[in-house]
């Protein structure tokens, strides 16, 4: 997915954030979100030991001692705090994160995700995915709709190792917004010029359509 579409997903997810929320940003698209918050005052948490992450710095102000979970340069907001990873995971495991915004390798139609390992490939690092899935109060997935090979990432059943039994609340891709509830999935918004029928063609998972939100 090109950068323009990645930004599109990040901007749409940013609309879901509320003032005062403590929000963890995972690797990938989620780390773009600090640049698209507008006037919202949220507290961005990075599992490598920062609360109060700010937007991307200008090139002449980059300090690679300050990086996101994606190892990209960041800034610190006024009042930000630094701590070691053990304290960071105490926050996650203790239920102090209002929302986690994560990427995913696969999402199934019940909202269970896989985002830490691909069978047969080297595991570079589990990171905090499993802790965040278990500990955050709300989970939003920001992801491309399809994998690089064109296969669906939104599937009936996971074929990659699960990140945990906990279900996510929302999935945002370049094409659509889905919400998960009571073991099922509902399409609530189209974000591209794709039709519902075309969306089903590139989606393995089953989903219903919210007629009211879709103005159908």
Q: Which residues are catalytic?
A: 47
| H or E element in which residue 208 lies | strand 208-209
The residues with which 170 forms a beta bridge, in sequence order, are: 140, 179
24-47 exposure pattern, b = at least 16 Cβ within 10 A, e = fewer: bbbbbbbbbbbebbeeeebbbbbb
Report strand pairing: 184-190 vs 208-209.
Answer: parallel
State both tokens at 110: 């019940």
| Distance in angstroms (rounded) separating the CA atoms of residues 197 and 199 | 5
* Edge-to-edge strand ranges of the sheet holding 113-114: 113-114, 106-108, 154-155
Per the CB < 8 A criterion, the answer to whether 43 and 21 are in contact is yes
Per the CB < 8 A criterion, the answer to whether 184 and 167 are in contact is no
Cα separations (Å) of 161 from 70, 103, 118, 190, 195?
21, 15, 7, 29, 31
Per the CB < 8 A criterion, the answer to whether 47 and 69 are in contact is yes
| H or E element in which residue 66 lies | none
């Amino acid at each position: 997915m090109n950068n323009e579409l990645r930004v599109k997903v990040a901007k749409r997810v940013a609309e879901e954030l509320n003032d005062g929320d403590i929000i963890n940003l995972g690797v990938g698209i989620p780390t773009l979100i600090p640049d698209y918050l507008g006037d919202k005052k949220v507290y961005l948490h990075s599992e490598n030991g920062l609360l109060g992450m700010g937007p991307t710095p200008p090139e002449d102000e980059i300090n690679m001692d300050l990086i996101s979970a994606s190892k990209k340069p960041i800034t610190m907001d006024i009042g930000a705090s630094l701590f070691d990873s053990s304290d960071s995971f105490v926050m996650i495991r203790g239920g102090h994160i209002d929302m986690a915004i994560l990427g995913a390798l696969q999402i199934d139609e019940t909202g269970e995700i896989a985002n830490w390992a691909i069978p047969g490939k080297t595991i570079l690092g589990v990171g905090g995915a499993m802790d965040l899935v278990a500990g955050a109060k709300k989970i939003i997935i920001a992801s491309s709709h399809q994998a690089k090979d064109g296969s669906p990432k939104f599937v009936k059943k996971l074929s990659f190792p699960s990140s945990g039994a906990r279900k996510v609340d929302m999935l945002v891709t370049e094409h659509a917004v889905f919400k998960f509830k009571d073991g099922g999935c509902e399409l609530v918004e189209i974000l591209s010029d794709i039709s519902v029928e075309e969306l089903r063609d590139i989606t393995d998972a089953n989903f219903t359509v919210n007629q009211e939100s879709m103005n159908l």
